[in-house]
Structure 1
Amino acid sequence: MRKFIAEVSEKLRSHEHKLTSRRECILCILLENKDKHLSAEEVYNLVKQKSPDMGLATVYRTLELFCEFNIIHAMDFGDGRKRYEFGDDSGDGHHHHHLICEKCNKIIEVNEDLLEELENRITNDYQFSISNHHLKIFGICKECMAKSNNKQ
């Protein structure tokens, strides 16, 4: 974690920004919850436990700054709120996909590139250079299906 924080600090410094103690606190919250897709409000609520004097505006500005430098990515999962996750720095332009439960709002990551064949066809048939894609599939997770089956 310290190595990643140092890398973020260097990235910000190279663009004439600093990793202030408040920004580092927000980054640590994101790192501690990297398996979740937190909204700005959720980040704020977690940050308040460690730094009660930090304001919501600081959290929003920091998240936007981190997005600007591709430290994190903002996603909308259909609930009207941006949620944040760390990006894939592999450089190949491929990201994981998401399954979103319409009952409990659980977000499940699918770490396979399911669109490679489609991308190849688009590139060849339309002479279109794809730089990125996002796939969100909405449905009902197995836990919510089990709850529904138990009620019947």
Structure 2
Amino acid sequence: MKKEAMEKFNKYLKLKGFKLTQERRIILEQVFSVHDHFDVEDLLYMLRKSNRQVSRASVYRTLSLLVESGLVEKVDFGDGRAYYEHVFGHLHHDHLICKNCGKVVQFEDMTIEKRQKDICKEHGFQLEYHTLNIFGFCTECQKEDK
């Protein structure tokens, strides 16, 4: 999958007049080795831990390009930080987010996906992407509250 993602990213960069630099390649490889949500600090830590030196600015710029290209999604879990996850080759999913402990549960629901597309069609709206985050309390936090 990394190879296909690299090819898609390279095509996107060429379309925008950019090059696939060594730093961008390193960042993309690291992003696609992570199978969970991460923020910029997490990514920088992983890169440094594996002795891959890239600048903070390159990480921010490359993440932005990866989001624009559709390979990565930027997610807001309501805590003021931006999280990322690679979505290329994965089914779309949504999130349940516990307001107490911060636990994130991913779920897929084809009924919701279909309904959103139907709503867009009914209103003549061209869907590009969507996010659904449901905020509440997980089972464990509900037990603690009682």
Whole-Å Cα distance in 2 between the matches of residues 12 and 121 of structure 1?
Answer: 33
Q: Is the Cα contact below 8 Å between 2:74 and 2:83 reproduced in 1?
A: yes
For structure 2, the residue ranges without an aligned partner over 5 or more in a row are none
**Is the 1:95–1:134 contact (alpha carbons within 8 Å) kept by the matching residues of 2?**
no
Match of 2:50 in 1: 50
Q: Share of identical aligned residues, percent?
A: 29
Superposed displacement of residue 36, structure 1: 1.1
> TM-score, normalised to structure 2's length?
0.77
CA contact (8 A) 2:13 2:20 kept: yes
2:98 aligned with 1:101: yes
For residues 117 and 100 of structure 1, what CA distance do their matches in structure 2 show? 22
Residue of 129, 135, 148 corresponding to 2:125: 129
Q: Which amino acid aligns with 1:40?
A: V
Over the aligned positions, Cα root-mean-square deviation in angstroms equals 2.8
Q: Secondary structure at the match of 1:99?
A: strand
The code of the aligned residue for 1:129 comes to F
Query: Once the 2 structures are TM-superposed, how far is the Cα of residue 21 of structure 1 from its aligned partner?
Result: 1.6
Question: Which runs of structure 2 are paired with 1:1-152 in the superposition (5 Å)?
Answer: 1-33=2-34, 35-51=35-51, 53-87=53-87, 95-113=92-110, 114=112, 116-117=114-115, 120=118, 123-124=121-122, 127-131=123-127, 132-144=129-141, 148=144
Shift of 1:88: 5.7
Aligned length: 143
Deviation string, structure 1 residues 37-75 (Cα, Å, up to 9, x no partner): 111111111111124532222211111121222221212
Cα distance change, pair 88–130 in 1 and its aligned pair in 2 (3 A): farther
